[in-house]
Amino acid sequence: DQQVKQNSPSLSVQEGRISILNCDYTNSMFDYFLWYKKYPAEGPTFLISISSIKDKNEDGRFTVFLNKSAKHLSLHIVPSQPGDSAVYFCAANPNTGNQFYFGTGTSLTVIP
Amino acid sequence: EAQVTQNPRYLITVTGKKLTVTCSQNMNHEYMSWYRQDPGLGLRQIYYSMNVEVTDKGDVPEGYKVSRKEKRNFPLILESPSPNQTSLYFCASSLAGAPEQYFGPGTRLTVT
């Protein structure tokens, strides 16, 4: 049973516009969330994270929003650049252990 | 250069032939983990290790073994591989208490 879900397998956005990637989770014990970016033939690389005590974390063009009541987080990329084209995974870590649960990924294409 | 290395990068084998995928990190990280990536399923955690001689099961440990005899190495062992273990495998590491993981480049395994 997938505890972390990314319901959009793919997303296309024009360069310069905003990209919004969504992630939903079911386990209320999750207290830390991360986004990873993955290029083909490479391993995922860490992008940005957020603790459950916050509802927003910003790092340059990347902002993650957390809505605990809806069990939903989103990654905003503004402005989107062609180099942002990659697969994005959200991940969650429960406060009860050291396991990590990943979503199925969203493939972002930024069109020049 | 700080990195996680995996070997081999590609492997084709036959059912039942024992194999080991090696993972090594040079960052003195305490936490190491193995994941498999499958289409439509995202990344799923197989095993993780909090430190030397401390390992624990992730979400999908069946058919796999691990060992952590040295801090830098965390090999993944398939004692009797089966076709359903055909997948893309990633090793990852992080400092204790830091959820952000560094991933290796991946090992594509095909079991025929």
Contact A100, B45 (CB under 8 A): yes
* HEC letters along chain B: CCCEEEECCEEEECCCCCEEEEEEECCCCCEEEEEEEECCCEEEEEEEEEECCEEEECCCCCCCEECCCCCCECCEEECCCCHHHCEEEEEEEECCCCCCCEECCCEEEEEC
Query: What is the Rg, in whole angstroms, of the alpha carbon atoms belonging to chain A?
Result: 13
For tokens 């990637």, the residue is A21
| Cross-chain CB nearest to A43 (options B45, B100, B104) | B104
Residue A2's pLDDT is 82
Q: Judge residue B90's burial from the number of C-beta atoms within 10 Å of its C-beta, 0-12 exposed, 13-18 middle, 19 or more buried.
A: buried
CA distance, residue A2 to nearest chain B CA (Å)? 8
pLDDT tens per residue, range B90-107: 999 999 888 899 999 999
Identify from A48, A62, A98, A107 which residue to disrupt to test chain B contact, counting B C-beta atoms within 10 A and taking the largest count: A98
Contact status of A105 with chain B (Cβ, < 8 Å) = yes
pLDDT tens per residue, range B40-92: 899 999 999 999 999 999 999 999 999 999 999 999 999 999 999 999 999 99
Residue B96's pLDDT is 86
Give the span between the Cα atoms of A33 and A48, in whole angstroms: 9
pLDDT tens per residue, range B1-34: 889 999 999 999 999 999 999 999 999 999 999 9
Q: What is the mean pLDDT of residues A86-103?
A: 91
Residue B98's pLDDT is 85
Under DSSP, the state recorded for A82 is G
Surface of A (10-49) touching B: CB under 8 A: 32, 34, 36, 41-46, 49
User: What share of chain A has pLDDT > 90, as a percent?
Assistant: 94
Inter-chain CB proximity A43 and B99 less than 8 Å: no
pLDDT tens per residue, range A66-75: 999 999 999 9
pLDDT tens per residue, range B27-40: 999 999 999 999 98
Give the span between the Cα atoms of B7 and B21, in whole angstroms: 6
Residue of A nearest to B43 (CA): A102
| Cross-chain CB nearest to A45 (options B33, B43, B103) | B103
